[in-house]
Amino acid sequence: MDRNVGVNPAPPLIDRFGRQITYLRLSVTDRCDLRCVYCMKARPDFLPKADLLSLEELTILCDAFIARGVTKIRLTGGEPLVRKDVLSLIENLGTRIGRAGLKELCLTTNATQLPRFADRLAAAGIQRLNISLDTLDSDVYRRLTRGGDVNNALAGIAAAKAAGLQVKINAVAMASINEVHLPELIRWAHGEGHDVSLIEVMPVGEIGADRSAQFLSLRDVCATLSDRWTLTDLPDNTGGPARYVRVEDTGGRLGFISPLTGNFCDSCNRVRVTCTGELFTCLGKSGRIDLRHALRNGGPAALEHALDDAMAEKPWGHDFDVSPGAGAAVDRDMARTGG
């Protein structure tokens, strides 16, 4: 006999604007082996390890979200693959794919650890990776990441491809830093069979630098690329914030994620949870719900209430501003929030 007959399923997560939350971005660590200039300070204050959710707590959280209708989970960070034992979390969550409603488990990574992990990620059920790579130029990469070696990232991307993982390259477009290197990056990625998404730098976190100097409008990038290549609009909608074109000259797909010049909040289907269990209802707002407190002090019922509270509080959207002197929209950086 089916033991669930007569049991009401948990209600879906629907916010007060009628948007259903089906996508969870979960940061598993705030630590990273790189120090990208748009993401964190040169000497970040990392959280005490005791503040982080355990792997077991992270699993309980994911199960609670899946039960409430989340179909896609992206693990991120910081750099998710520098967390010790993260593979056991991924392998555990991988067993939920295809049952209990989880359709996709994916990862955002800087690729440096992929030579070690790509095969096991594929075996765990991960099919797609978002890989952050802002330039192929080794000097620019070293400057942007404050000391990274682009060859490590390239070796990781090659390992992912060899393991059969589908790769999308994400590049943050930065004025006078990687601006002139973007066409080369796009041509290379398309040649390797990878989609590319360009991202506008967001004023998230105090990074010890002026955001307005970093900001590059993707409208301008698109116009410059159109002078060089034929870009054909694509109707593709992956449920995300990117607008896609096909670059006829390379045959590849190029996305533009423009939180500043093309706000996409009306179709928002996601929430972010940090490695300490803070649920942020919007990337650009400071509203938060403490899921760790609910988990540790209240148990399953408190967790359910906390998720309901989050739906009641999720704001309509962000109002990022990168004009000179505007400062950060929120004080937490991307590595802590989970990009």
- Interface residues with ligand SAM (CB under 6 A)? 32, 38-39, 76-77, 79, 108-110, 132, 170, 172, 199, 201-202, 204, 334-335, 339
Q: Give whichever of 22 and 214 is closer to ligand SF4, judged by the CB atom.
A: 214
CB of 219 to ligand SAM, least distance (A): 16
- Decide if residue 34 touches ligand SF4 (CB under 6 A): yes
Task: Report DSSP state, residue 111.
Answer: S
Contact between 104 and 72 (Cβ < 8 Å): yes
Q: Considering the rule CB under 6 A, would residue 39 count as an interface residue with ligand SF4?
A: yes
For residues 152 and 110, the answer to whether their CB atoms sit within 8 Å is no
Binding segment toward ligand SF4, per CB under 6 A, in 14-22, 74-82, 152-160, 216-224: 74-82
d(CA 253, CA 231): 9
In the complex, what is the shortest distance from the CB of residue 304 to ligand SAM, in angstroms, rounded to a whole number? Answer: 28
Site for ligand SF4 contains 77 (CB under 6 A) = yes
What per-residue string of b and e applies to 218-228 under the rule 16 or more CB within 10 Å gives b?
beebbeebeee
Number of residues that bind ligand SF4 (CB under 6 A): 13
Task: Quickly count: other Cβ atoms within 10 Å of residue 287's Cβ.
Answer: 13
Site string for ligand SF4, 110-129 (x = CB under 6 A): x-------------------
Among positions 245-264, residues that touch ligand SF4 (CB under 6 A) are none
**In whole angstroms, how far apart are CA 267 and each of 59, 68, 195?**
27, 19, 22
CA distances from 35 to 23, 46, 81, 141, 143 (A): 27, 12, 15, 11, 10
The three-class DSSP label of residue 301 is helix
Residue 109 CB, nearest approach to ligand SAM (Å) = 5
Q: Which of 86, 125, 131 is nearest to 109 (CA)?
A: 131
**Residue 304 or 321 having the CB closest to ligand SAM:** 321
Compute the distance between CA of residue 176 and CA of residue 159 in angstroms, rounded to an integer: 31
Pick what 21 binds: ligand SAM, ligand SF4, none; C-beta below 5 to 8 Å, kind-dependent: none
78 binds ligand SF4 (CB under 6 A): yes
Q: Which does 144 bind (CB under 5 to 8 A by kind): ligand SF4, ligand SAM, none?
A: none
Pairing of strands 252-257, 243-247: antiparallel
Q: Closest approach of Cβ 114 to ligand SAM, in Å?
A: 11
Q: Based on the shown chain and the rule CB under 6 A, indicate whether residue 135 belongs to the binding site for ligand SF4.
A: no
**35 contact choice in ligand SF4, ligand SAM, none (CB below 5 to 8 Å, kind-dependent):** ligand SF4
Q: Which residue is nearest to ligand SAM (CB)?
A: 339
Nearer to ligand SF4, 61 or 153 (CB): 153
Give CA separation, 212 vs 46, 155, 160, 296, in Å. Answer: 25, 33, 35, 41
Six-digit token string for 7: 């049991």
Other Cβ atoms closer than 10 A to 48? 8
Interface positions with ligand SF4 (CB under 6 A): 32, 34-36, 39-40, 77-79, 110, 132, 334-335
